[in-house]
Amino acid sequence: MSHFVNPQRYDSMQYTRCGRSGIQLPKISLGLWHNFGDVTLYENSREMIRTAFDAGITHFDLANNYGPPPGSAEINFGRILKQDFQHYRDEMIISSKAGYTMWPGPYGDFGSKKYLVSSLDQSLKRIGLDYVDIFYHHRPDPDTPLEETMSALDLIVRQGKALYVGLSNYPADQAKEAIRILNSLGTPCLIHQPKYSMFERWIENGLQDVLQEEGVGSIAFSPLAGGLLTDRYLSGIPEGSRIASDSPFLTSDQLTEARVTQIRQLNEIAQRRGQKLVQMALAWVLREGKVTSALIGASKVSQIEDAVATLNNLEFSQQELNEIEAILSR
């Protein structure tokens, strides 16, 4: 039984070509990192996927270790696919990754061919798919030769288990070499997934240039800096927030007085633009057209709706950009 989907779902979403490929990605994509595991309400997860697809979000981003516990996001997403989207698989870009610790012993982590091939086989079983659209190496491996890791990605495509491959968290020099190896193997790199937001801008120091030169797309994760670039922390730390619950990914020492001041000043610019801070933060990541898609996380439907409404105002004046730079450099 498929979910009755919105027939106008493609009318308002904007899509961007990913590098030099034939793939277009929605400007807003949905990541299933935190809020689709067994510790969250299944019906809420299901409602978020429905809302996203109905809004024209075609790209759903997973990894072997997403949950918690690890693996559970893929299982739950697979259940939702089966329940609601059996007839819509070909309208979706579904991605997964391997690179972080997934099972005990020497073959459950990093970048060996053994690990990557085994991990994707497990992911496909969990999701209930024959192939994913994009398979990423999740982080560089200091000990495995890059040739082996890239040949594993090439093999996976030749086996029909993924249509495209990508890199995540690779610095500029390693990304450039990985892209070169993949090109030589005949399986070009489609996309790179780095952390990028107003508060985390390392990709501007070389990586973006490499991706532009090589014709590789990019999708920014944590574009809201783990929730800091929302209106949640304008008055300090609220109960029930990720910082208050001692999340390892967002700790109270990240919310300094200086940071709160920046958030408030940025919020003032967003209000002048007729946007929420979250919307301005997403629009900022997508400015200049160097980032193909902004990858959001969400714990409720309204957050997805807010993110999609970003598309109503993506343009910045030079004065606004200068003001934002001045705030961020303080």
Instruction: Summarize pLDDT for 111-120 with one digit per residue, the tens.
Output: 999 999 999 9
- Which is nearest to 192 in space by CA: 55, 70, 25? 25
Cα–Cα distance for residue pair 198/223, rounded to 1 Å: 8
DSSP 8-state assignment for residue 204: G
3-state secondary structure (DSSP) of residue 118: helix
Domain-wise residue ranges, the chain: 15-228+289-312
Q: Is 290 exposed, middle or buried (0-12, 13-18, 19+ CB in 10 A)?
A: middle
Tokens encoding 268: 């003032």
pLDDT value of position 303: 97
Q: Which two tokens stand for residue 185?
A: 């193997």
How far is it, in rounded angstroms, from Cα 266 to Cα 26? 25
Q: Distance between CA 84 and CA 28 in Å, rounded?
A: 21
pLDDT tens digit string along 70-104? 999 999 999 999 999 999 999 999 999 999 999 99
- Secondary structure of residue 3 in the 3-state scheme: coil
Cβ neighbours of residue 61 under 8 Å, at least 6 residues apart?
29, 30, 31, 32, 95, 193, 219, 221, 295
Q: Give the separation between CA 20 and CA 216, rounded to whole angstroms.
A: 7
Half-sphere exposure of 306 (CA within 13 A, CB side): 20
Residue-level pLDDT at 119:
98
Q: Does residue 320 have a pLDDT over 80?
A: yes
pTM of the model: 0.95
- The pLDDT, as a whole number, for residue 245 is 57
Q: Residue 3: its pLDDT value, please?
A: 72
Residues in contact with 99: Cβ distance below 8 Å, sequence separation at least 6, in sequence order: 109, 110, 111, 136, 137, 138, 139, 141, 168, 169
Which pLDDT does position 236 carry in this prediction? 72
**Interval 221-231 mean pLDDT:** 96
CA atoms within 13 A of residue 37's CA, in its CB half-sphere: 14
**pLDDT for 242:** 59
Query: Which pLDDT score is estimated for 36?
Result: 94
The overall longest dimension of the chain from CA atoms, in Å, is: 54
**pLDDT given at position 2:** 63
Q: Residues 136-188: pLDDT tens digits?
A: 999 999 999 999 999 999 999 999 999 999 999 999 999 999 999 999 999 99
Q: What is the pLDDT of residue 247?
A: 59
Question: Which DSSP helix (H) or strand (E) runs through 282?
Answer: helix 277-286
CA distance 158 to 144: 21
Tens of pLDDT, residues 230-288: 999 888 776 666 565 555 556 667 788 899 999 999 999 999 999 999 999 999 999 99
Mean pLDDT of 222-230: 96
For the stretch 281-309, pLDDT in tens is 999 999 999 999 999 999 999 999 999 99
The domain 15-228+289-312: what is its CATH number? 3.20.20.100
Confidence at residue 248, expressed as pLDDT on a 0 to 100 scale = 58
